[in-house]
Amino acid sequence: MPDTTGAEFALPHELAEEKKAKWQVQRERLAASSFYRQHHVDAPLQLPATLEGIGELPFTDKEDLRRDQATHPPFGSYLAGGLESVSRLHRTSGTTGQAMNIALSAHDARLQAEVAGRAQSAAGLGPGDTVVHCLNYQLWMGGLTDHLGLEATGAMVVPFGTGATELLIRTIRELGINAISCTPSYPARLAEVLDEHFPDIEPKSLGLRKAFMGGEPGLDDPVFRGRLYDVWGMRAMNSNYGVSDFLCNFAGQCTEQNDLHFMATDVAQAELVVPGEDTVVPWEAGSEGELVLTHLDRECQPLLRFRTGDLVRLTATERCTCGRGAPRFRVIGRTDEMIVVRGVNAFPSVVAAAVNACPELNGEYRIRLSHPPPYDRLPLEVELAQGHEASDTLCDALNKRLGDTLRLGLALTVLASGTLVRTEGKTRRLIKEYA
Ligand SMILES: [Zn+2]
């Protein structure tokens, strides 16, 4: 019998008392933080006794944290506890600016693993599985911290990291590994190495049957998943959605449906807010807004009303057929990745779905922006699938697919298979080439 005692199985109202008690402790931590005391000089932080009151408090965003770390290195004055409370340090990749230092106490680290384990378990990982973890262990949370989340499911976890793809293929074969944890773009690289160095091995015969992924748009597209299943015989699950400053992995789909369960219901307060504004959107099925998160049980670097920059749609709040009471949502896109073309909002995830639906293409694409907005047409680079050639009908088909959903015009560049650079880490599909 699977364990159904975790917080993710409770309905939100069943956790109210527990959350209330946690907030009493958490507000003391926040009140002791010089960062929050100074965050709004004009309106000193008055921490409400109940969670219902937090909607009146100021937001915190990434820029606030960046500035604070720059003036109070290494962890910022929002560290809350003393340096001796930190038992693990991670750094974020810093691809969008200054690298950030993340501090976890032993308690914080245990909690991260527990919540991440809920997400990976829901996606079908557990005792009896052997999963190889192929994310970067160097500084980044996706390595060690995600590894411990995988372990929390009871599965056997093989720490591999990135690179050395030939060794990975030999390791998978020798150990009978049946599951992989990696970025959605990594199987394409794995297939290239297989083709080049192990021409006798079919991807399917490698034995991978489950894939646990996250972190890139396009993963939720059924065509992308269908392609992985056809080529590898493995089911791809979106089991790893997180915000490194908040919790490394706090949402994932279950085996019953494709939306993400919010797995941190007992340790976080979530809100939806209109992007770029302060208006709170009601927390009910069908609502859309920027995800704003407050820690309820965090010792180091507690966050209060943190604007994640992720635009989400809440899809369901009733109990799922899998038994979990945790609400479900979909990630629509990043508020900073929204491209406005002739008044229409486009996100890379929508483009991914259109590209994946073209059988002449292999699914790789980049949106390369050479100048600041406004854009008259969406500049899109795609790669042909092996054995296919560029044609007028291909361009028409893509135009029609994006046109039907978004009424977008395209500036399309069709490239030969393998032209776009493949990476082992997170692939940036939206590239801004201007300062
Ligand atoms: Zn479910």
Residue 128 shares a structural domain with residue 227 = yes
Q: What CATH number is associated with residue 196?
A: 3.40.50.980
Tell how far the Cα of 32 is from the centroid of ligand 1, in angstroms: 38
Longest dimension (CA), the chain: 69
Q: Which of 51-60, 181-190, 206-215, 333-342 has the lowest mean pLDDT?
A: 333-342
Same domain, 128 and 166: yes
CA 200 to ligand 1 center in whole angstroms: 39
CB 125 within 8 A of CB 236: no
Mean pLDDT of 63-72: 92
- What is the reported pLDDT for 426? 62
Residue 395 has pLDDT above 80, yes or no: no
Q: Are residues 309 and 347 in the same domain?
A: no
Distance of alpha carbon 232 from alpha carbon 204, whole angstroms: 4
Is pLDDT above 60 for 309?
yes
Among the listed residues 435, 385, 384, 375, the one whose alpha carbon sits nearest the alpha carbon of residue 411: 375
Burial 343-361 (b: 16+ CB within 10 A, else e): eeebbbbbbbbbbbbbebb
Better-predicted residue by pLDDT, 369 or 298: 298
Rg of the Cα trace of the chain? 22
- The verdict on residue 1 lying in a domain is no
322 CA to middle of ligand 1, Å? 4
204 shares its domain with 263: no
- Ligand 1 centre to CA of 122 (Å) is 7
Q: Could you tell me which of 143, 135, 197 has the C-alpha nearest to residue 167?
A: 197
Q: What is the CATH number of the domain that holds 360?
A: 3.30.300.30
Mean pLDDT of the chain, nearest integer: 89
**Residue 278 CA, ligand 1 centroid: distance in Å:** 31
> Per-residue confidence at 277, pLDDT binned at 50, 70, 90?
confident
407 pLDDT above the threshold of 70: no
Q: Where is the domain boundary, 334, 354, 389?
A: 334
Query: Is 116 inside any structural domain?
Result: no
Q: Assess whether 103 and 247 both reside in one domain.
A: yes
- The enclosing domain of 314 has a CATH number of 3.40.50.12780
pLDDT value at 45 more than 70: no
**Cα 81 to ligand 1 centre (Å):** 36
Specify if 170 maps to a domain: yes
Does residue 426 share a domain with residue 357? Answer: yes
Please give the tally of structural domains in the chain: 3
Check whether 428 has a pLDDT greater than 60: yes
Residue ending a domain, choose from 286, 309, 334: 334
CA of 183 to the centre of ligand 1 (A): 22
Domain-located, residue 115:
no
Distance between Cα 260 and ligand 1 center (Å): 8
Asked whether residue 24 falls in the same domain as residue 59, the answer is yes
**212 Cα–ligand 1 center, Å:** 16
CA 350, 352, 355, 356 torsion: positive or negative?
negative
Same domain, 106 and 245: yes
Q: Quote the domain boundaries for residue 208.
A: 124-238
Mean pLDDT of 95-106: 84
In this prediction, residue 394 has a pLDDT band, given cuts at 50, 70 and 90, of confident
- Among 170-174, 196-200, 345-349, 351-355, where is mean pLDDT lowest? 345-349
Same domain, 171 and 261: no
104 and 21 in a common domain: yes
| Cα 434 to averaged position of ligand 1 atoms, centre (Å) | 42
Separation of CA 259 and ligand 1 centre (Å): 8
Of 197, 221, 238, the residue that ends a domain is 238
Rounded to whole angstroms, the Cα distance separating 351 from 214 reads 18
Q: Please tell me the distance between residue 34's alpha carbon and the centre of ligand 1 in angstroms.
A: 40
**Distance in Å, CA 310 to ligand 1 centroid:** 21
* Beta-strand relationship, 260-262 and 241-243: unpaired
| Same domain? 49 vs 197 | no
**In the predicted model, what is the mean pLDDT of residues 372-380?**
82
Output the CA 312–ligand 1 centroid distance in Å: 17
Residue 42, pLDDT > 80, answer no
CA of 48 to the centre of ligand 1 (A): 33
Q: Is residue 362 part of a domain?
A: yes
- Classify residue 2: in a domain, yes or no: no
CA 144–ligand 1 middle distance (angstroms) = 26
Q: Give the pLDDT score at 217.
A: 67
Threshold 0.85, pTM exceeds:
no
Whether 308 and 373 map to the same domain: the answer is: no
The pLDDT of 257-261, averaged and rounded, is 96
Whether 118 is in a domain gets the answer no
Residue type, 147: H
Band of pLDDT at residue 205, cut at 50, 70 and 90? very high
Would 151 be classed as within a structural domain? yes
User: How many Å lie between the centroid of ligand 1 and the Cα of residue 327?
Assistant: 9
Q: Three-class SS of residue 233?
A: coil
